[in-house]
Structure 1
Amino acid sequence: MDASLLLTKLFIPSVPPNIIHRPQLIERLTAGLQAGKLLTVVSAPAGYGKSTMLAQWITAYQGQVAWLSLDDRDNHPLRFWRYFVAALQTVSPALGQTALPLLEDAQDLDVQRFLTALVNDVAVGNQALILILDDYHVISNADIHAAMKTLLEHALPALHLVIATRTDPPLPMSRLRVRGHMTEVRLADLRFSTDEATVFFNGLMNLALPAADVEALEIRTEGWIAGLQLAALSLQDRADVHTFIQAFTGSQHLVLEYLVEEVLTRQPASLQAFLLETSILQRMCAPLCNAVTAKTASEHALSDLQRRNLFLIPLDAEHYWFRYHHLFAEFLKSHLKRTQADALPALHRRAAEWFQANGYPEEALHHAFAIPDYAYVSRLVVDNWRRIYHTGRLATAVQWLESLPGDLLRQSPPLGVAYCWTLFIRGDYAQIDAYLDDITQAFERMVAAGALPVDHPEYNIILHQVMLLRAVVMRHQGEVAAAIQEIEQLLPTVAGFRHTFGPIVVAMGYTACYSQMGYNYVAANDLAQADAYLSRVSTHARACGNFFALAHATMEWAKISLAQGRIEHAEKICRYELSLAEQPAYAAYPAFCLIQLALADVLCAKGAWDEAETLLAQGLETARRNGHQYYLAQGYLIAARLHHAQGNPTLAQDAVHQAERIAVSIRNRFLDAALAETQTAVASTSLPGQPLIEPLTERELDVLRLICAGKSNQEIADELLLALNTVKRHVNNLYGKLGVSRRAQAIIEARRLALV
């Protein structure tokens, strides 16, 4: 499963031991399921027990159930559907396997194709299952709603969707209702009756309230479960119960606010403080709470909250991680902001420090940004980005860096260097050049001001990184000899790092230098020297944990071996390095997708197409998910060669077109060269119905049709999402195949041959 997904969102909530059983609602839900209805909608405002009732239902259900707790971060199609599939895969890993690779970047997402694959996956699985989407009201994205509508229109009896929401979703509910395809549970069904309120107050909470007082509370709260629960908490150990019950009136919002205040004021002072201070946490455990509250009794406090039934929800079977009921947490945070706003920065800082010290960098940065203290955030980013980068989690590294003010990236050499390496992964070498000028100037100002003496360890690290990045830019600009010379100057200094920084930094230095030297010699077409340098990368990369550099070097080394005709050697290289991904500690690292793509390329050359297709699909899906656009394009080119070798010209051309779209946005000369080479390799694929000795490719036919429509080269480039130089290359190719030299001749010949 995708390591970037939060597994606690997929946990089925446990049912509290003290709960009012609601058999009539359970029977209604079960009847709808047994009748083969497609959808169940549980719609009511916050605090009416929607999630608890559903958890109670599925606890008694003997079949297969998946659960997804949505939040406002899921209001994006890619994230929503990834979690949707992940939830299904908690039932069976096979569900969604075909659909998942189709989840690409938003601009390329073909929703209809994805949904078709998803429906087919569920149909093939032929397993009756329930999928519960909790808190669906947070979804406002029209594309998600439209896709859900499509899914319902093509849904299968095997999949029963349950939507728990505070507001009715914009789905075709009237049509489903008329056709008898939907079960509904609403506020009037969920609100406690007087009898249920009596059982709750007197049976579960042991308050011994007279019937008149129970009825008064039920009327004032309108059976609102959260209100009744808070009222019960407020009534414990209160002398004048009747006066209290008569004291509050108003809307649910006001009643809840009033009752939260009452609940807080009636708790021990230490527990009040604990509730407020930990309300900033999206999830909590005792050690984390100790850090945030600066006290040591958090384990006892959490147990006390569970005993008091104070809206604490366990997130795992071990009851190590918890969260507050969302509605309760909202009001706690609101109260905290009103009464102790000055304390918020310190609380968030303590949370950030705990998450950082315990290996949760994403959550550390979440709290650091909330302080907000960009100097502190910057230090956390500098401390964490390399670990994220080395594992290949580019999307996370980019999110951190691009959340900082742009000027800060240019004025802070460590941050600027980090950002430039993310640009390197993205293949956007031109942007690196622009940033390096500002980074160098900032670096020189720091040195001149004495803020970074030349004998300071950080001085040498930044200088080393800037020189490496300069070499990357030089190589991209065609100055390969200068790039080689730049790194040759660095290599002798790396060994000197051992006494100052230790062996890990030495390994990092050699990993970077040997990798870049290898790439430089590939660009110089000196494959023997490239092979010599890239063969040294693995030992150092493993020593410092730079798995991305390891994977990238393996990919290039395998290409060299293929070019030299050493297919078995290339396969041996890839399989040896990919075996790391079999170790649990490394299995989730996205960096290994590059080796999967490299091995797929090798197996394609070997003719082992089945395994090549499997590895290619895995590598492409991981590259998409983690923002590796440059390597995604390389993967599409491998796919094009594989489909070409299998005699499938249409799929080969589709893959080339995918790579072309990425090449337009990146404008990387090495990608352009690989694209041109692959285009030439698959251009010999014959398309049916062409009376030419050398038929036009599908893309050349697209260009020819637009030429005949009177489009200029630039207009063709805009319409087909191609670079202008790529269009010109296609035009020259089709001129040669048609035996013409001008547009007018091409149009005449195309019409004569009935090509358009």
Structure 2
Amino acid sequence: MSDSKNKLAAPVAGGAALAYKFRPPLPPPHSIQRPRLLSGTLGANRYSAVVIQGPAGHGKTTLLQQILQRAKDAGTETGWLTLDMRDNDVSRFNTSLTTLVNTAVKIHPTNIAPLPYGNGAVDHLLQLLDGAGGPVSLFLDEFQTLSEPVNIALFDTLLERCPPNVTFYLGSRSVPDLARGRLMISGRVKWITPEEICFTAEEVQVFLTLVGLHVSKAEANAFRESTGGWPAVLQLVQLALKGKRIGRSTLLSWISGFQSELRDYLADNIMSDLPDRKRRFLLRTSLLNRLSAPLCQAITGESNAQQLLEELVVEGLFVRPLDVEQHWFTYHLIFSSYLNAQIESETPQDIQSIHRQAALWYRDNNYPEETIHHAINAGDLDLAADTLEIWAPQLICSARLQTMENLCELLPKAQISMRPMLAWGRTWALEFLNRKDKAGLALNEFEDIVCSLPNSITLSKSLKILKGVDALINDKFGESMAWLEKIPIETRKQSITSFFEMGALANLKTIQCLYQGRFTEAREFALIGESLGYQGEAAFSGAYSTSLVALTMILSGELKLALKQLTDEYNRKEMIVQGSLVFAPLSTVYGFALYESGNFVAAESLLSDNIDSISQTLPVDWLILAYLVLARASAQSDRSHADCIEVLDNGERLGLISRLPRLVRAMRRERIRIALLDNSCQDISLLLDMPGAATDGNLPDSWIYFSEDCNDDKICTIRLAIGSEEPELAQALLESAIAAAGTTGRVRRKIKLMILQSLLHLTSMEKMLAQQVLAATIELAMDQDYISTFVDEGPQCLELLAELLKNTQANSAASFIRRILVAGGYNISPLGDNDKPCALIENLTKKEQAIVKLLTSGASNVEIADQLYVSRNTVKFHLKNIYAKLGAKNRTQVTNIARRLLLV
């Protein structure tokens, strides 16, 4: 291992060290204004996005700078973000976007009023932008570096939903999908192509005049034809003029050489004029992605590196500062590529030593990611691996999982095998990212390392916890608990690694108690896990713990408290900033709680926005919950059922690909439930016998997976028995299941079983008995607002409730029944005068007004999306806001209220 390992400080990531990313670089000297392009991009609220696309050297960043300055001069709030490959980490990208928006609107997150159903990542950013009060222009340069699908989807969602006062300006070498999709068709995106960026003859003439070369219009036209108007050429002209290589008479003959090899051209016309000292400085520093004076001094020995960098900027030598203070600089890609080729040709023996010097400087200044990349290029794999091993716990705890995975891919297996904590971090990242095959191999390699160190009690414990997590992710819970049952949870002050591991252990014990129906113990374990996550700054495991606390409440009869705590947690600043992967477990359970309480549109919007990250990172119980709730919420908000079936298809597809038969089985049980409600029962029972859904039944009979609390095989069998008119079987199953639910305190499950019992009585022509059971169920459910549990049982249940309402004297019970009926879209008596809204709770936006008009005309979500050139998820997002502003619970109420308020 590297002998410098003991010099490594605890690494940091992001923060002030990356402040330059949020500042526009200074414009190059003698840059000319582009009024022809500026006038088409600064119209008031004309576009949601302006995409400036072109290869390197086409002046994208300079044009972005000019647009930003014009926007500032007009009083527009602005923000700048230079993206790089590291922003493909989901958590980091979310943090970068949040910082960008906060910088622009200057509203601290704690000063934002919480939304009624909590702030997700996108909701939070939209609320910040909407609260700006005036126009906002946000600039994202180097957009082509973004490739992670989850991040691209998050940005597309933000762009599609952004308020009309916001415009995004994107600089990109490649054409992003949004410049070719529905937003482009709808006229909300302007695409400035490479041909448009190139200079016209008039702009060429202006520039040449500016740098002291007066030419005629014909000469400017000839120049334009010779170079294609490529902006980078003008910088070469400026340098050639300074070197007195050209004048008006020699301009065209000089530039004709431009069509030949650019590398030779730069060598003959720029580098040959430089003093050796400056040339050496350029070559050695060209291996750096970004430059600072202390870093350059470390690898060149130049004590006046700051002065040299500033001179290069003034001379226009393809060097630009990244911040106003001129602490950080970068070379233009064209120039750095040329310089890289030169040093490889002239002094290849120096390259590794330069990278090593850079790695050591970055290490000593706590830039771990840069340290690792330069160390690898230097061939110093020990330094790279040592740095990543120390950084690993922080990456895992903060959910920088993709960064951990990608950096490990750069290292040989032998380097990882020599470092237990590096192997530990790699295994956790792969487990959390659901890379099952890779995670299994990584776990085996970590086990080999631990076995080679038999006296390490700490590592042995770490291995057992990882074994337990791996078994859970592979849906082998019995095997999981066998690894963990003898490990005590330690709550004393300890390292962040131990806090993280103990939090994970507490979560696994919570899950065991939930399966067993031991809710008091489950809650205590979850609270312990939550506190351990907080102490260890482990956002990911802490989010799991919080979701498990809420699950305990929902299943045991405390839905209202669970919903309140989830809303508070979702609005917490720390969670807003952390990123999509941290949101995933919370989003799943929050969507579940919203759905249970009858907030179908809010549940659908939340889960639609997060389903990609949920599918990428969560164990099967969370997947079952997310897909079931999303499918049911989609069916409730859009009666066509098209979205519902698509969600079930996606869930089943994920289960088959990921080898999760329990997920496949849950999706098929839901298809059976839907078929029974639609009276299309032919052959539906065969669904569970088809390939892909066989489970090993590794839980004891009295245990129930928490995701299957109201949707397990037993309840499915009861539904089928009721549907096929087998009352004796259904009644026997119901009696034993209700008794078991009562014994274990499974309140939600008991409510569901009693509803099914009332429907059994109804099909057996025992209507009075059916109403008696249903009335008792209402008493059990109404204090905690378990609304969807009734709605899910369809028209028969709603009809029975409507009959029960006529004979219900208690106001509280009657009110609860009415709320169930309204949520289920049942047509009850019109609202009375006291219920009739006098005014909008909040004014509708133009987009919301358009959706209300389409909705009241009977358009489905798909039809609304097609009409407005937006995604179905964006329609759902706007519907959530419309329902809240109108105080409506379903489409029928939206239509009635909109007509009363003369909105349509």
TM-score (normalizing by structure 2): 0.56
Q: 1:332 aligns with which of 339, 362, 370?
A: 339
Give the letter aligned to residue 39 of structure 2: R
Decide whether the 8 Å contact of 1:100 with 1:621 is kept in 2: no
Matches within 5 A, 1:429-468: 438-439=445-446, 441=448, 464-468=458-462
> 1:451 corresponds to which residue?
none
Q: Tell me, what secondary structure is at the counterpart of 2:330? A: strand
Corresponding position of 1:267: 274
* Match for residue 615 of structure 1 among 569, 590, 599: 569
Name the structure 1 match of 2:850: none
Q: Shift of residue 273 of structure 1? A: 1.7
Deviation at 1:363, TM superposition (A): 1.7
CA distance in 2, matches of 1:714, 1:180: 49
1:394 shift after superposition:
3.5
Equivalent position amino acid for 1:65 in 2:
T
Residue of structure 1 aligned with 2:27, choices 15, 35, 44:
15
SS of aligned partner of 1:91: helix
Structure-2 residue corresponding to 1:694: none
Paired residues of 2:23 and 2:81 also in contact (CA < 8 A): yes
How far residue 197 of structure 1 moved from its aligned partner, in angstroms, is 3.1
Unaligned runs of 5+ in 2: 1-12, 472-477, 640-665, 676-680, 699-704, 731-755, 764-792, 796-904
Structure 2: how far apart are the matches of 1:331 and 1:188? 22
Tell me how far 1:362 sits from its aligned partner.
Answer: 1.5
1:639 match:
590
| Counterpart selection for 2:714 from 732, 753, 756 | 732
Tell me if structure 2 keeps the 8 A contact 1:134–1:165: yes
Measured in 1, the distance between the counterparts of 2:468 and 2:131 equals 52
Q: Which residue of 1 aligns with 2:290?
A: 283
Q: Within 5 Å, which residues of 2 pair with 1:108-147?
A: 127-136=134-143
Provide the residue aligned with 1:702 in structure 2. Answer: 671
Q: Which amino acid aligns with 2:488?
A: M
Structure 2 residue 725 is matched with structure 1 residue 713: no
Could you tell me how far 1:305 is from its partner in structure 2? 1.7
SS of structure 1 residue aligned to 2:325? coil
Indicate whether 1:65 and 2:78 are aligned.
yes
Go from structure 1 to structure 2 and tell me whether the alpha carbon gap of 1:15 and 1:549 turns closer, same or farther (over 3 Å shift): same
The offset of 1:566, in angstroms, is 10
Tell whether 2:239 aligns with 1:233.
Answer: yes
**Measured at CA, do residues 644 and 380 of structure 1 come closer, stay the same or move farther in structure 2, by a change above 3 Å?**
same
Contact 2:294 2:305 in 1 (8 A): yes
Inter-partner Cα distance in structure 2 for 1:178 and 1:436? 50
Q: Compute the displacement of 1:229 (Å).
A: 1.9
How far has the Cα of 1:223 moved from its partner? 4.9
Query: In the alignment, which residue of structure 1 is the partner of 2:59?
Result: 49
**RMSD of the alignment, in Å?**
6.2
**2:416, 2:389 → 1: CA distance?**
11
Residue identity (%)? 19
- What residue number does 2:426 align with? 419
The aligned amino acid for 1:13 is P
- Pick closer, same or farther for the CA change 1:340–1:296 going to 2, 3 Å: same
Pairing 1:603-682 to 2, within 5 Å after superposition = 607=561, 609-616=563-570, 625=579, 627=581, 632-633=584-585, 635=586, 638-639=589-590, 642-643=593-594, 646=597
Post-superposition CA distance 1:194-241 (Å, at most 9, x none): 542333322xxxxx7888999687775455442222233244354786
- Please report how far the alpha carbon of residue 282 of structure 1 lies from its aligned counterpart in structure 2 after TM superposition: 1.8
Residue 65 of structure 1: SS of its match in structure 2?
strand
Residue 613 of structure 1: how far off its partner (Å): 1.0
Could you give the per-residue CA deviations for residues 717-751 of structure 1, whole angstroms, max 9, x where no partner exists? 66xx999888997232221355479999999x999
Instruction: Select which of 287, 300, 304 maps to 2:311.
Output: 304
In the alignment, is the contact (CA less than 8 A) between 1:661 and 1:722 conserved in 2? no
CA drift at 1:344 = 2.7
Residues 38-63 of structure 1 show CA distances to partners (whole Å, capped at 9, x for unaligned) of 55454555434332233234323321
SS in 2 for 1:404: coil
Q: In the alignment, which residue of structure 1 is the partner of 2:855? A: none
Residue type at the aligned position of 1:517:
P
**Cα offset, 1:465, TM superposition:** 0.6
CA distance in 1, matches of 2:521, 2:726: 48
1:164, 1:432 → 2: CA distance? 37
- Higher relative CO (Cα under 8 Å, sequence separation at least 6) belongs to 2
**Distance in 2 between residues matched to 1:146 and 1:545, nearest whole Å:** 32
Note closer, same or farther for the CA distance 1:74–1:576 as it changes in structure 2 (3 Å cut).
Answer: closer
Q: 2:323 aligns with which of 300, 312, 316?
A: 316
Offset of residue 328 of structure 1? 2.4
Structure 1 Cα separation of the partners of residues 75 and 344 of structure 2: 45
Per mean C-alpha deviation after superposition, the further-off stretch among 40-49 and 353-362 is 40-49
Say whether the 8 Å CA contact 1:96–1:118 is kept in structure 2: no
TM-superposition CA deviations, 1:349-369 (whole Å, max 9, x none): 222222222111122222234
Q: Distance in 2 between matches of 1:569 and 1:396?
A: 33
- CA shift for structure 1 position 321: 1.7
- Is the CA contact (8 Å cut-off) linking 1:577 and 1:595 kept in structure 2? no
Asked whether the equivalents of residues 58 and 231 of structure 2 are also in contact (C-alpha less than 8 Å), the reply is yes
Identify the residue that residue 384 of structure 2 maps to in structure 1.
377
Alignment-mate amino acid for residue 19 of structure 1? H
In 1, the alpha carbon distance for the partners of 2:287 and 2:520 equals: 59
Q: Is the 8 A contact 1:365 1:381 kept in 2?
A: yes
1:441-499 deviation line (CA, Å, top 9, x unaligned):
5677xx7xxxxxxxxxxx578564135414653796559688666xxxxxxxxxxxxxx
Q: In structure 1, what is the equivalent of residue 39 of structure 2?
A: 28
Q: CA–CA distance in 2 between the matches of 1:57 and 1:657?
A: 35
Deviation digits for residues 124-183 of structure 1 (CA, Å, limit 9, x no counterpart): 766422233434566789999999999888776423343445566663599979979858
Question: Given the two structures, how large is their TM-score scaled by the length of structure 1?
Answer: 0.65
Per the alignment, do residues 138 and 640 of structure 1 end up closer, same or farther by CA in structure 2, a change over 3 Å counting? closer
Correspondence for 1:348: 355
Matched, 1:200 2:210: yes
Paired with 1:651 and 1:176, the residues of 2 have a C-alpha distance of 28
CA distance in structure 2 between the aligned counterparts of 1:287 and 1:420, rounded to whole angstroms: 36
Paired residue secondary structure (2:566): helix
Label 1:222 to 1:388 Cα distance change in 2 as closer, same or farther (>3 A). Answer: closer
Letter in 2 for 1:12: P
The CA distance in 1 between the partners of 2:160 and 2:433, in whole Å, is 39
Residues 34 and 63 in structure 2, CA contact (< 8 A), matched pair in contact too: no
Q: Which amino acid aligns with 2:392?
A: W
Counterpart in the other structure of 1:517? 488
1:548 Cα deviation (Å)? Answer: 3.1
Contact 2:89 2:402 in 1 (8 A): no
Runs of 5+ consecutive residues of structure 1 not aligned to the other structure = 104-113, 203-207, 448-458, 486-515, 519-533, 690-696
Distance in 2 (alpha carbons) for counterparts of 1:383 and 1:29: 50
In the alignment, the residues of structure 2 paired with residue 58 and residue 661 of structure 1 have an alpha-carbon distance, to the nearest angstrom, of: 33
Alignment match, 1:509: none
